[in-house]
Amino acid sequence: VAALLEEKGHLAAENRALREQLDSDAAGAAAKKLLRLQTQVEELQEENYRLESGKEELRARCSRLEQEARGLQVRAQELSGLAGEAR
């Protein structure tokens, strides 16, 4: 009985040690995952900033092209009128 109680005590101690190791491994894994997620968030924020900047540049270019198109339409109408007069 004493031998079994002693073995039970050793097994309980080993069980505690393994559980502590598992907890520390889980904490380490969680910390690594958190770090990966934080890095991913930072990368996504940088990409979002680049995309927003690109969007603003495209909006400005679109506005310039729309103005140019309106000017060309006015010029085309003028030339059409002059062509009609010339006929």
* pLDDT tens, residue by residue, 45-55: 999 999 999 99
- What does the alpha-carbon distance between residue 65 and residue 61 come to, in Å, rounded to a whole number? 6
Host H or E run for residue 54: helix 2-86
Average pLDDT over residues 58-64: 97
| H/E element, 87 | none
pLDDT band at 25 (very low <50, low <70, confident <90, very high): confident
